Chains A and B, each alone.
Chain A
Amino acid sequence: MSINEIQDEIIDEFALFSDWMEKYEYIIDLGKNLPLIEEQYKDEDHLIKGCQSRVWLHAGLEGDKVVFTADSDAVITKGIIALLIRVLSNQPAEDVAQSDLYFIDKIGLKEHLSPTRSNGLVSMVKQMKMYGLALHAKN
C-alpha cells in the first residue's frame, strides 16, 4: 500500500472510536506493542531530544525501501510513533521524502505534532523525511 492508502486506512479505523478514551487506549496499546529499536541504536546518535519525552529513531534501507525503527520513553509518544512508522516505513525513499502526513490532523492528534509540545515528534518527522531524502539521493 502507498503512504496515502495507509493514511486513509488509519483515518477509517479512528472513525470507529466514539471518544478520546478509546482513541488513547488504542494509542497506548500501539505504544506497548511497537517493535523496539535494537538496543545498539538507542544511543546519543539516534536520540531526538524533546524536553517532554525522548525519541530514538533508526533508518535503514531494504532494497529501495526505507525501514524505520524507533522508541520513546513515553508510551503515548511511542504510540504515535507506531502510527508514523506504519505510514512511512517500508516505503520508497522518495515517497517518504515527499510525503504529506495529513492523517495526524484527521484523527485529531495534531496537538502531539505541535512544536510547542516539545515531545520530539516534530523533529522525528523531519528526521524521517530527511532520511528519505538522503537515502533516495544515495540510491
Chain B
Amino acid sequence: MPVTAEKGFDVEKLRSDFPLLQTAMNGKPIAFLDSAASSQKPSAVLEAMDTYYREKHANVHRGVYQLSQDATAAYEKARELVREFINAPSSHEVIFVRGCTEGINLVAATFGRRFLDADSEVLISAMEHHSNIVPWQMACEDKGAKLKVIPINDEGELLMDEFERLLTDKVKIVALTHVSNTLGTVNPIHEVVEKAHAKGIPVLVDGAQAIPHMQVDVQELDVDFYAFSGHKMFGPTGIGVLFGKEKWLNALPPYQGGGEMIETVTFEKTTYNELPHKFEAGTPDIAGAIGLGAAIEYIQSIGYENIHAYEMDLLHYATRQLQQVEGIRFIGTARDKASVISFLVEGFHPYDLGTILDKLGIAVRTGHHCTQPLMERFCIPGTVRASLAFYNNRTDIDRLVEGVKRAVAMLR
C-alpha cells in the first residue's frame, strides 16, 4: 500500500528538491540513510546562500552603507525566523553559534564558570552524544564538580525514578538530549523540566536530533536552553542555534571575546554588548544564518505534521521489513521513537555490513555514533544505523533490507 501521509505530501516531488539525492555512490543511485549525521540540502537553501553571496554580501552590524545595512537586515531576519520557528519569546534569546556542539560548549563553559563549585553536580543521561558529555566533563573538572548520569532501561528509555533520585539539591543543571541519535528515543522533556524546575534547577536540551523531525516550542517545553545544528535540519553546515531564556543568558558571562560582543573597549575595562551580541563575538556565519532561514521556510512549507506522519509510517515500514533479516537485533526500542533505526545482525560486525552496503550505494552509519558510553551500556562494539528523513522513500528501505540480506549472504 502506498504511503498515506496527509494529503499534499508527495515524497517524489520533495526528493526532486534535493540535488544530492539525484547522484550516485559507487555507481549506484544513492540511498541516503544517514540524515542523523547530516541531512541533505534543498535547492531553496542553496539558492538563498548563492544569492546572498552574489548580490547582498557585506559584513553585518558595521557599515552605514546600504549593502551592509541590507546584509544586517537579512541576518537579523534569519534570527527572527528562528525565533518564530521555536516560539522563543524574543529574538535576542536566539544566539547564532557554529552548531549544537558550540551551543552546548557555550553554556557548559559559562555556566560552569559562574555557577559550579566543588560541591555541585551536573546531571546528564546515559544516551548523550559526546557533545553533551565532554563539555560538562570539562566544566566539572575545572571546578571539581561531579558529573552524574541518569541510567536507561534495555529499551533505551530514561529511568525516571532514577532521575528523581539523582535530582538532589547539589544538581546545578540538567543537560539532556531531546532525541537520541543512536537509539531514536524521544525523551519526556516536559516531565524532566517540571521536576527540575520544582527544585529551581535549569535544564539544557540538546535538540540536534529533534529539530529535523518535530515542532519544538521552547515556551511550551519551558526549557532554559535549547541547542541545535542547521546542517541536520536541511540547512548549511557551520551554523546552529542556542536558545536561552533571557534571565539565564544575562546571568552568564560572555563566552568568547572579540568584535561585535563589546559595547566599549579600553585597555582597562571592556563593557559587553547586549543580548544576543554578547555571545556572538566576531563576524558571524551570515550566509549560514540566511541558509538556515531558508531551511526553516522550506520545512514550514511541508509542515511538521506531514513530516511526522510520513516518517512514522516509513519507520514502521522499515522496522517491519528489517525484521525479515535473520538474527537482527534492534538497539533502541523505546515506545516514543524518532525515525532512527540502530541494529546489529547476530554474528556480523557493523563495519562489515556498512562496507558492503556502501558498495551497493546505500549510505548508513556504522560504529558508536559518538555515544561510546551508550555502546558500553549495551555491551556492543557499535551498530548499523539507518536514519530516515522525509525525503526517504520505500525504495530506500527496500534497498537497505535487500542490501543487508546480501551482505549477510556474502559474509556468512
Q: A24-B356, A24-B359, A76-B355 are in contact. Are A53 and B410 (CB under 8 A)?
A: no
Chain B residues in 8 Å Cβ range of A73: 349, 381
A51 within 8 A of B: yes
How many A-B residue pairs have C-beta atoms within 8 angstroms? Tell me: 43
Contact, CB under 8 Å: A74 / B349:
yes
B382 within 8 A of A: yes
B14 within 8 A of A: no
Chain A residues in 8 Å Cβ range of B351: 52-53, 74, 76-77, 119
Chain B residues in 8 Å Cβ range of A54: 381
Contact, CB under 8 Å: A52 / B359:
no
Q: A77-B351, A119-B351 are in contact. Are A52 and B410 (CB under 8 A)?
A: no
The residue on B at minimum CB distance from A23 is B359
Q: Could you mark each residue 64-84 of chain A with 1 if its beta carbon is under 8 Å from any beta carbon of chain B, else 0?
A: 000000000111110000000
Task: With both chains docked as a complex, state the minimum distance between the C-beta of A18 and any C-beta of chain B, in angstroms.
Answer: 14
Distance of A24 Cα from B352 Cα, bound (Å): 10
With A51-B368, A74-B351, A75-B349 already in contact, 7 other A-B pairs whose C-beta atoms are closer than 8 Å: A20-B359, A52-B350, A52-B351, A53-B349, A76-B351, A76-B355, A119-B351
The residue on B at minimum CB distance from A120 is B351
Interface residue count on the A side (C-beta < 8 Å): 17
CB<8 Å pairs between A and B, sample of 21:
A20-B359, A21-B410, A24-B355, A24-B410, A28-B352, A28-B410, A51-B367, A51-B368, A51-B382, A52-B366, A52-B367, A53-B349, A53-B351, A54-B381, A73-B381, A74-B351, A74-B352, A75-B411, A76-B352, A76-B355, A77-B351
Task: With both chains docked as a complex, state the minimum distance between the C-beta of A86 and any C-beta of chain B, in angstroms.
Answer: 20
Distance of A92 Cα from B352 Cα, bound (Å): 33
Distance of A20 Cα from B382 Cα, bound (Å): 25
B-side residues, CB < 8 A to A, are 26, 348-352, 354-356, 359, 366-368, 381-382, 410-411
The residue on B at minimum CB distance from A51 is B367
A25 within 8 A of B: yes
Task: With both chains docked as a complex, state the minimum distance between the C-beta of B278 and any C-beta of chain A, in angstroms.
Answer: 37
Q: Could you mark each residue 23-61 of chain A with 1 if its beta carbon is under 8 Å from any beta carbon of chain B, else 0?
A: 011001000000000000000000000011110000000
Distance of A52 Cα from B359 Cα, bound (Å): 17
Task: With both chains docked as a complex, state the minimum distance between the C-beta of A63 and any C-beta of chain B, in angstroms.
Answer: 36
Chain B residues in 8 Å Cβ range of A74: 349, 351-352
Q: Indicate the member of B351, B359, B381 with the most A CB atoms within 10 Å.
A: B351
Distance of A3 Cα from B382 Cα, bound (Å): 35
Task: With both chains docked as a complex, state the minimum distance between the C-beta of B257 and any C-beta of chain A, in angstroms.
Answer: 34
Distance of A77 Cα from B411 Cα, bound (Å): 12
Contact, CB under 8 Å: B367 / A28:
no
Chain A residues in 8 Å Cβ range of B355: 24, 76, 112
The residue on A at minimum CB distance from B369 is A51
Chain B residues in 8 Å Cβ range of A24: 355-356, 359, 410
Chain A residues in 8 Å Cβ range of B348: 75
Distance of A28 Cα from B408 Cα, bound (Å): 11
Distance of A54 Cα from B356 Cα, bound (Å): 18
Chain B residues in 8 Å Cβ range of A51: 367-368, 382
Distance of A119 Cα from B382 Cα, bound (Å): 12
The residue on B at minimum CB distance from A50 is B351
Contact, CB under 8 Å: B411 / A52:
no
Task: With both chains docked as a complex, state the minimum distance between the C-beta of A104 and any C-beta of chain B, in angstroms.
Answer: 15
The residue on A at minimum CB distance from B26 is A20
Q: A28-B410, A28-B411, A51-B367 are in contact. Are A75 and B381 (CB under 8 A)?
A: no
Distance of A52 Cα from B382 Cα, bound (Å): 8
Distance of A74 Cα from B411 Cα, bound (Å): 10
Distance of A25 Cα from B410 Cα, bound (Å): 6
Distance of A76 Cα from B367 Cα, bound (Å): 15
Distance of A54 Cα from B354 Cα, bound (Å): 15
Chain A residues in 8 Å Cβ range of B410: 21, 24-25, 28
The residue on A at minimum CB distance from B381 is A73
Distance of A74 Cα from B349 Cα, bound (Å): 5
Chain A residues in 8 Å Cβ range of B349: 53, 73-75
Chain A residues in 8 Å Cβ range of B352: 28, 74-77
The residue on B at minimum CB distance from A32 is B411
Task: With both chains docked as a complex, state the minimum distance between the C-beta of A26 and any C-beta of chain B, in angstroms.
Answer: 11
Distance of A79 Cα from B11 Cα, bound (Å): 40
The residue on B at minimum CB distance from A75 is B352
Chain B residues in 8 Å Cβ range of A28: 352, 410-411
What 8 A-B pairs come out closest when comparing CB atoms? A74-B349, A74-B351, A53-B351, A52-B351, A76-B352, A52-B367, A74-B352, A75-B352
Chain A residues in 8 Å Cβ range of B382: 51-52
